[in-house]
Chains A and B, each alone.
Chain A
Amino acid sequence: MVQEYKLLFAGGMGVGKTTAISAVSEIPPVSTDVANSDREAFDKELTTVTLDYGRITLPSGDRLRLYGIPGQQRFSFMWAMLEHGAMGMVLLADASRPDPFVELDIFLKAFSKLLRTGRAVLGVGRLSKRRGALDKYVAKLARRKIKIPVFSVDVRKKKDVLLLLDALFTQIEVLEEAYRSGEPSGKAAQSTSPAGDLANNPASDHANDKEPAKDGEASEKVAASASLADDLASGKEPPKGGVFPGKTVQSTNETTV
């Protein structure tokens, strides 16, 4: 049976939620962007005031519904509405902001319930090439007791957004497996999620680089995460067992950590 899964794209104004969804959506995304009158908050022409909506059909026929939130806090009334029923979340941050962590913190708090289940990934855009630049983000998440993979990305590139989605599915799969086998999933996320590896390996801050990372192990781990991108490109079936394990818990209220 074809399944539908709802995924949320969150993060502050200008981090690239709308850009990310339009990079991967197979339909012209539903956009609610209007003229931005707050150029001080972020200097861009348009801003999202309700939602973004896009869709991806997987080779299995399952569908991903991608919802983007409006990033400004005055639209926070939309956040809970959009979060409802989301299976996972792609959280985005913009490292070039004057204080990216203060902004990130708003979303870590607002979506803490979903984030603490581990069904999420963090993509950091415009990150400096300095080795270990991602570490601060990993530490920030750890302080908030959130264990999710962190990547350096440029969401204007389809392959980077697919990488985030693939990491998210892997993360969900690990959690589901742990859930089924009765293991405390928090422990599973800790031991098997890519987060730890990436965090401990600055060489993986490479998604923005043209050249793949030199470090063999790190690049391999990221390359392995590109399977969804490959599947979508080649139209072949997702990895054995499916990208989504059998019956995925769709309620965000289910806390497994």
Chain B
Amino acid sequence: MKPLSKIQATALQLRLNHCCARVPEIRLILLATVDGFQQVVAGSQRADAELPEKFAAIASSMMALGEAAGKEVGSKKRLEAVVLDLTDLRVILRMVGGGKQQFVLATVADRKVSLGVLLKIVYENARLLEEALC
């Protein structure tokens, strides 16, 4: 597992800040290692003292559980995303990267943003992050 380089982290930070500024309903975007360490965090909730750190661990757990669940029901492919549909919020966890640099991209948004729009934002962010990781 190769950690993010300084340049990579800075590029990703700018990208995520930009996204949060453009879509204010997004409260938090967090990039974590697959074993639960926060790497980059953006959005209004980033200021919360403990939330990003705790949420990074939870996000990696949920992603791994999603993967185990997929395997159990016969999926042969890797897990792309986990969606949490809460009555006031949506959380989308998306696997990003691969090989030695694999991360979980967690996005928390108000339900005012439709699921379709949010998924589109998340997948677009994932694509840009993957470009930056290369």
> Measuring CB to CB, which residues of chain A are less than 8 angstroms from any residue of chain B?
30-38, 47, 49-51, 70, 72, 74-75, 77-78
Contact = CB atoms under 8 A, between A and B. Distances in A.
A37 B35 contact: yes
Contact of A75 (B34, B61, B102): B61
A49 B64 contact: yes
B68 A37 contact: no
B54 interface: yes
Interface in B1-60: 1, 3, 33-37, 53-54, 56-58, 60
Contact of A34 (B53, B64, B72, B100): B64
Contact of A77 (B57, B64, B67, B72): B57
A49 B68 contact: no
B84 interface: no
Interface residues of B, number: 22
A38 B61 contact: no
Interface of B: 1, 3, 33-37, 53-54, 56-58, 60-62, 64-65, 67-68, 72, 100, 102
Nearest to B3: A37
12 contacts: A32-B68, A34-B102, A35-B1, A35-B102, A38-B35, A49-B60, A49-B64, A50-B65, A50-B68, A51-B65, A74-B57, A75-B57
Nearest to B56: A74
A78 B60 CA distance: 12
Given A70-B61, A77-B54, A36 B35 contact: yes
B35 A49 contact: yes
The 10 closest A-B pairs by CB, nearest first: A32-B64, A37-B1, A34-B34, A74-B57, A35-B1, A50-B61, A37-B33, A50-B65, A49-B64, A50-B64
Nearest to B99: A35
A39 to B, nearest CB: 8
A77 B3 CA distance: 25
Given A30-B72, A77-B57, A77-B58, A38 B64 contact: no
A231 to B, nearest CB: 29
A74 B61 CA distance: 11
A70 B35 CA distance: 10
A32 B34 contact: no
Contacts of A35: 1, 33-35, 100, 102
Given A75-B57, A77-B57, A38 B37 contact: yes
A30 B72 CA distance: 8
